Structure 1
């Protein structure tokens, strides 16, 4: 009888231990759900996923020495995100993919020298302008035939896809337009003599020439006054308000001017 009792107690003990083991890690822990852009990031605040075409010096480009992204836009969005209390997630992508990425909520914002236009405002919102720019024509330094925009009729023109420079080129009668994914490719096509001109944002083309590309020159007047803004999806009004508030603070406390002078050597316009 004692043996039977001992055996029964032993069986119950083994069963209890097995149940306890199953409840203490025997199954996989619940997986963390993937967070949407702009989702809560706990102790670090809210994440801000920002897209940019990092081939547009001096606004956004890769430092050859460190491999890090640098430029006016990069430093500005870092300062804006910090001021607004966001954890910045900066991502490089093609310029013509930025607005589609905003529309599908793959990113929360885009900063990439994006000109504020009525057409773009139909599909995305923009912050207050943060930079005034314009378009310019670049040609080979030895070219004396093209002196302004008016001389581009029937010429071979290189542009970056999806830009206001491309839109301008499309208005030129009989122009033969070649589209590139970034401005560096368009300007190299000009240096190689494959095209007659490049229509691009003035500060970017001017920076390119200053980097030792003295076989390229800028001709004519700046074609149009343009303003850059940070683009935000239509449904992210809180993000837009936060970015505008941060941008306003940076302009008031002098940090915006400091970043501007670092990259352009002059006071903000």
Structure 2
């Protein structure tokens, strides 16, 4: 369990695309300024199966983590991952869609046991709820045209035309790049299209969104030109008094990673092996 005394220091990102697009509501999230990896306290060993059912709340729109193609169907990396956790732990999952900014208050109030949906671990949130071990590390990266070389660092973007989505960490970071000409767009997909069409030299965007767009065939002629430049950890949320559930989730995550199932899900949704 992450205690309120732990300060984390990462960028929190909020990006969207058109099919990926409903993520726009995340652009107002508070940015996490976290310096070290989140600490997880010792939790008791849990013996599976638990033979119980958890009420799960999630928010759609941050593709490919959670989406809802049909009223009674959720899918995405987070959905598959938590379903795998439930299978290992021997619990059923009842899914419910809510607005993103209501997820933590709902768990905090005890109206759901678990929340998931690309929820960044921040110090402020850790005062209200408990987070699992990070299951995904997001962050900013540079995207360029597939045939473009050399733009692999923030330094290399100086005096370049850079596309960003309004209200995101990328839009904040580009301000500090010397001589850069900034072009803003309403979605990450639009920023990537500007790069593909030659209207911008590069885009500074969330790397998983780029990979997902390429994997889904929603953008072409684009590549990730850099490694992850910042780090934003995502965690599964439970209530502060839910030590057993937290321990069960962490144990199940460890088993899923050890079995290779985590790598399979990562490859399925992002088209690459897990990033470290």
Q: Which residue of 2 aligns with 1:98?
A: 103
C-alpha distance in 2 between matches for 1:156 and 1:261: 27
Counterparts of 1:177 and 1:266 in 2: how far apart (Å)?
29
Could you say which residue in structure 1 is the equivalent of 2:206?
Answer: 201
1:47-62 superposed matches below 5 A? 47-62=53-68
Greater relative contact order, per chain length (Cα 8 Å cut-off, separation 6+) = 2
Q: Secondary structure at the match of 1:227?
A: strand
Indicate yes or no: 2:243 matched with 1:237. Answer: yes
Please list every run of 5 or more consecutive structure 2 residues that lacks an aligned counterpart in the other structure.
1-49
Matching residue of 1:23: none
Q: How many residues in Structure 1 have an aligned counterpart in Structure 2?
A: 215
Q: Contact (CA 8 Å) 1:170, 1:177: kept in 2 or not?
A: no
Taking the aligned partners of 1:171 and 1:132, their CA distance within structure 2 comes to 18
Distance in 2, matches of 1:89 and 1:48, equals 6
Structure 1 gap segments, 5+ residues each: 1-43, 180-184
For residue 207 of structure 1, give the secondary structure of its aligned residue in structure 2. helix
The aligned runs of 1:1-269 (5 Å cut-off) are: 45-63=51-69, 68-137=73-142, 149=154, 157-158=164-165, 166-167=168-169, 169-170=171-172, 173=175, 186-190=187-191, 200-212=205-217, 213-214=219-220, 218=224, 220-268=226-274, 269=276
TM-score (ref. length: structure 2): 0.59
RMSD value, Cα: 4.1
Greater Cα radius of gyration, structure 1 or 2: 1
What secondary structure does 2:118 align onto? coil
If the length of structure 1 is used for normalisation, what is the TM-score? 0.60
Q: Which has the higher helix share?
A: 1
